Structure 1
Amino acid sequence: MTKNAIDVLTTTYSIANAQIDAATKKTVGNSVYQAMSSYYNYIKFARGSGGLPASPKPATLKSIQKDGVTFVPNGVLRAHVAKAECCLQIAILQLLQENVMGYIKCGMNLRRAYASYSLVWQEYKRMGQIYHDFVDRDTISGIQFGIGAVHLVLSTLPQKVLRIVSAFGWKADKHLGFALLKLCVEERRIRSPMASLMLLAYYTVLTSLCPQILSNEYTQPAIETLLDAQRTYPNSAFFLYFAGRTSRLARNLTLSTQSFTYAIEISKSEWAEVEVLHTCSYEIGYNYMMEHNWEEAAKVFDMLYKEKYWSPAIFRYLTGACLDMMGQRTEAILAFAEVPDLVGSKTHSTALTEKYVLRKVTAFQECGYQDMDMALCALEYLCLFTGFDFMNTELLEGSLDTVDHALDAIMEAEKTEFGIRTRELLPETPAPKYFDQRGALLLIKASLFNAMGRFKESIIHLNWIIDHKEQIEVDKWIVPFAYWEAGVTAWGMDNKTRSRSFWESALRFNKFDFEYRLAMRVNLAITKAEEMGVPKPADPNPANRHKAEKKESIITLDSIQSRQSTSDDASARLSTSDHTPASEPTVFKVHV
């Protein structure tokens, strides 16, 4: 589906480009001049023009009449906007692929989009106060939408990719992006609904990636943008989809599911009927998972598997995960057994997730599905995709009980295997080694505690993961995600400097599942920390913590306060005093 969309947009880009070439009848000399002019303006922008393209001196009615000043025809300007919009939409599709090549291509297409938007902006500014005689308002709406969207999309790129893109001079300004998009919405022209969709996508998708850090900032603007859009488009399936996403941010899963269901109903017999059905059905299934309605979730994912939407392997895996949560182990195993034959997606957007589910199923098969009591695939999926933050306390408590049962299964297996080693000399049974299983469960448990605001209770579990990071050999994603959760824990205990150091540490890991998804999440959190004036840690190396602990076994609050911006901020472990106010008397820092 993504490939087809990119192909259509590429064709549209070529048509718009051909229209521009035919209208301008450019010669070689003109081509060189335009290329040099474009390059000059691009360098001028890169050196700091407040995020907007360079604005030439505006013409006046007198200068037009006296000097014969001419402007690029309106049709050509419209073609440039169409050309730029193709690049912008391709960039967004590439951004959603969640891999480094997709991010780099996204950055390149944003640059191409900006070049065309820049040309139209400069011509619009050159027209001065009489622009309405030479350019239509929909074209102006197009450049407001385009430049605003470019800045918003660019601001979401992870630091790993942003460093590559910034080599071309990009400096994203999300506040400028917000201002231009809101102006586009207010003027009620042809791009207004697209501007509303872009704002809603930014608010909902980014908040879903980083809910505990961004919910307070973006949930209310998302609701306001949605209400404004639905006054004009009350029966739009697109806005109903975002109504479902926005309701989820507000932890109203029932209303969220109703919105997705209504979007499906209202799009029947329309051109996007199948696409809306598939997209909203997945979101409904995800809501059912968060509500622990495993039976309905399994039905939805089974339907999507049969419809061959997105990735059959992923939906077969999710069906099995939900069946296992229902206690239907045999049916779950049968579903998991089909996954290896279904893996092989050629789309980048699913390949990484398929790799993850294949490894999970392969691990089950290698042990004859004997270790399934030690794994909670459904809760693990919710943890990876930040589903816990939208669940109510009762369901979170129930999830904690489920995790504890799985941890008990690990303890029983270890007890049995160690018991054999007390009776037999060099038994054939290998020594118990459940670091990956225990690490995944403890990460889920820490994430559940963070979602409930019980930050202190997550400390011991995150410290266990970090202390045993060398023994976690298969699920490499556990450790960097533990650093992410450690940052959330410190943030919740109001030690934001410590949070940033943990997030910086998470970026030091690579070649693990969902690497760039986590990188985007960390980028959003660090950007928020920078906006709040949280200083960057001097040395994000977590090994410094262990060195410091050897020299100083007892750390007082005074010593913590004096080292807030030192390399110790990159401590690899959490402690209960991370939330202690500076006004309290000196206490010992107790590691748990």
Structure 2
Amino acid sequence: MASKKIDAPPSGTLASSANGADSDSLLLQQLEDELKKATFDDDRLEDRSISSSSSASSASATGNVIKMQANLLSAAEQESAACMTFNESDIQEAIRILHHAETLCNAQIHAAPKKSVPLMTSVSKMVSSGWSYFGYKDASKSKPNSPAGTPPPPLPKYMTNGEIRARVVRAESQLLTSLILLLQESMMSYLKAGLNIRKGYKSYENVWAELQSMGDEVNTLVDNNTRGGIQFGLGTINIVLASLPTKILRIISSFGYIGDKALGFDLVSKCIAGKGIRSPLGSLMFLSYYTILAGFAPSVLGETNIPVADKILKDALQDYKESAFFLYFKGRNCRLKSMIKESTAAFELASSKATVEWGSELQRLCDYELGLNCAILLQWSESIKYFDRLAQENYWSKAFFLYFKAAALEECGQKQEALSTYQLIPGLVNRKFGGRTILVEQYVSRKVRLFEQNGFENTNLPALEILLIWNAYSSMTQESLRTCLAQVDNQISKNRGVTGLDSLAVLKTIKGAILHQLHQHKEGAECLTWVQDLPAGKIAEEKWVVPFACWEAGVGSWMEDHALAGDQRWARAKAFWDKAMGYSGYEFEFRLSIRIHAAMTRIQDLAEQMKLKAFH
């Protein structure tokens, strides 16, 4: 299968901050060493798959001492035989279980009878016939209850169905581990995700090549669920890699490949059509792509992604009416359409359906979405209940949920209660991944420290700031947007001559984003231009605000230029987004990078469509 390479990262691009450069470089070296070892182990495993060495010696070669019988079920026999969480302990447990699954699969692979190779088979026959000619018998190949010299059963022409199945499950374990790690938004997690993607991709490629070699026999030699597993896994890896921005791809560049989105969509579509056990996972993969990615850039991707997500949801909910997962994505998709009432109903129904073992985790996730919906509706007192509950249950980041609660309390005019809540946060910033505080907790701890410096007198609408960073204004009604705009204008007037440029830049960026959603593009552009034109170094604390202002300026230009012909439609937007990509070392950098990559991919798709039209 054709694959593409990406350039190695330029010197210094991997450092998340100046004082972390040395540790990041050391970490990168460690991960690259591990990657080389994993590549060597993979190659040895492939060598063993065409050898006739015993399963015991194969297992000891990699340190696996699990004894396991080979899975010799045929494809037909195999056919008949055949969650979401952000809590650190659950994440680590999931990764542990997936690693154990890898170990079990390796043992199954080692136990499988190895397929014949034409050249080796010919040599074996020649040697054995030569020994027979001289009257020798190979006693080691005789069965205990068989006459001496009885030849062993012939080696299979292809990998057995059991071995292919084990390889697919192993690759799937590596894929799921990488997806978990990518969600952590840290340097180490991205590097480790790259390592697992590399290993999983190689496993999928090997079994994919094996299936291709079977030709028309594949449907009888390999069971439907295993074929669906290959289609789902290889397709998902290609889609995920195609969706990652350059900044993240450079970090995992030791993996070496970028995704083929067209191939990925084709394979996952075949997985869904196959109606196997991974068919609903394929539908969820597409929904994740169309809804979550659109959520990063709703004003840019909404018109194309939302209708597709609607169709997938309609088909999926016909087959899985009680699925809490599909109902959850229905809530996300409704929010993209600014149908917050319908979105809330879908999240509430999803929560009520989540009653099995993992149900509590999905219920908490729905609580978070419901709290965000309340904030979008400016129903702050209702949002407080959800964020307080999430904090009390110690879900994901207690510090972040208390920060959101305190910000909502301020919106309700309960300043003293908000102050008391803010003061709890520094002692709760303890959620780490790879020894580092997670990004959102770095953000809230820095904000509380700034508030403390002025005695919590001037916090500058932190709730509206969260809605900006979370890209929520595109889901608001015009009335709610005007309410927020009045708040921002009032705060800017209060701050005049009192606060520094950091606070004013944040408020101007919020105002610019709101004005664009109100289609007041000229006024919105003026606010965002003011932020972008600030002299370098003038922003002391809010390093994220200038690149976010560039992003919002691009969104406004995209909306304003939507009716223009040709590349004029996106020329201004692209210039702003290119400018945003020039910044680094700020909070939520990778989150913004994903937004920009999604938008740039949309531009590429439109450019390709223009070329096709011109050609025809």
Instruction: Show the 5 A alignment for 1:228-307.
Output: 228-268=315-355, 270-307=356-393
Whether contact under 8 Å (2:115, 2:155) holds in the other structure is no
- Per the alignment, residue 516 of structure 1 pairs with 590
Alignment of 1:435-446 (within 5 A): 435-446=501-512
Q: Which residue of 2 aligns with 1:387?
A: 472
Pairing 1:139–2:226 present: yes
| Aligned residues with identical type, % of pairs | 38
Describe the SS at the equivalent of 1:172. coil
SS for the counterpart of 2:467 is helix
Aligned to 1:486: 553
Gaps of 5+ in 1: 31-66, 415-431, 535-592
**2:535, 2:352 → 1: CA distance?**
48
1:219 and 1:278 map into 2 onto residues whose CA distance is: 25
TM-score by length of 2: 0.74
- Contact 2:290/2:308 (8 A) holds in 1: yes
Q: 450, 454, 467: which one pairs with 2:533?
A: 467
Q: 1:513 to 1:469 in 2, by over 3 A?
A: farther
**What residue is the counterpart of 1:559 in the other structure?**
none
- Aligned partner (choices 243, 246, 257) of residue 156 of structure 1: 243
2:96 matched to which residue of 1?
Answer: 7
Q: Which moved more, 1:97-106 or 1:483-492?
A: 97-106
- Decide whether aligned partners of structure 1 residues 177 and 245 sit closer, same or farther in structure 2, where only a CA change above 3 A counts: same
SS at match of 2:351: helix
Matched, 1:317 2:403: yes
| Helix, strand or coil at the partner of 2:112 | helix
For residues 300 and 15 of structure 1, the distance between their equivalents in structure 2, rounded to whole angstroms, comes to: 41
Within-5 A mapping of 1:137-216: 137-166=224-253, 168-216=255-303
Q: Which residue of 2 aligns with 1:448?
A: 514
1:397 lines up with 2:486 in the alignment: no
Post-superposition CA distance 1:111-138 (Å, at most 9, x none): 2111111111111111111212211111
Q: Which has the higher contact order (CA 8 A, sep 6+)?
A: 2
CA pair 254-172 structure 1, distance change in 2 beyond 3 A:
same
Contact 2:231 2:270 in 1 (8 A): yes
- The 1-side partners of 2:295 and 2:571 are apart by 23
SS, match of residue 360 in structure 2: helix
What are the ranges of 5 or more consecutive residues in structure 2 without an aligned counterpart?
A: 1-89, 120-153, 562-567, 609-616
Does structure 2 retain, via aligned residues, the 8 Å contact 1:222–1:246? Answer: yes
Shift of 1:18: 1.7
Q: Distance in 2 between matches of 1:342 and 1:200?
A: 34
How far has the Cα of 1:497 moved from its partner? 1.8
Secondary structure at 2:101 match in 1 = helix
Is the 1:184–1:191 Cα contact (8 Å) retained in structure 2?
A: yes
Does structure 1 retain, via aligned residues, the 8 Å contact 2:161–2:223?
yes
* The 10-residue stretch of structure 1 (165-174 or 517-526) with the greater mean CA deviation from structure 2: 165-174
Give 2:284's aligned amino acid.
L
What does the per-residue CA deviation read over 1:20-67, in whole Å, with 9 as the maximum and x for residues that have no partner? 12225799xx9xxxxxxxxxxxxxxxxxxxxxxxxxxxxxxxxxxxx9
Cα gap change, 1:527 to 1:350, in 2 (>3 Å)? farther
Alpha carbons of structure 1 residues 469 and 531: separation in structure 2 relative to 1, 3 Å: farther
- In structure 2, which of residues 98, 105, 110 is the aligned counterpart of residue 16 of structure 1? 105
CA contact (8 A) 1:320 1:335 kept: yes
- The one-letter amino acid paired with 1:88 is L
Report the counterpart of residue 6 of structure 2 in structure 1.
none
Aligned length: 474
Counterpart-to-counterpart distance in 1, 2:228 and 2:111: 24
Alpha-carbon distance, 1:69 to partner:
6.9
Q: Distance in 2 between matches of 1:205 and 1:167?
A: 27
User: Matched residues in 2 for 1:514 and 1:254: separation?
Assistant: 29
Aligned 8 A contact 1:103 1:157 in 2: no
Deviations 1:295-340, CA, capped at 9 Å, x for gaps:
0100110011100000110011011000000111011111101000
1:75-95 Cα offsets, whole Å, 9 max, x none, are 000001100111111111111
User: Of 486, 497, 500, which residue of structure 1 is paired with 2:574?
Assistant: 500
Q: Structure 1 residues 309, 167: closer, same or farther in 2, change over 3 A?
A: closer
CA deviations on 1:441-478 (whole Å, 9 max, x unpaired) are: 11011111222332222111111111225321111000
Secondary structure at the counterpart of residue 322 of structure 2: coil
Deviation at 1:100, TM superposition (A): 3.2
CA contact (8 A) 2:190 2:252 kept: no
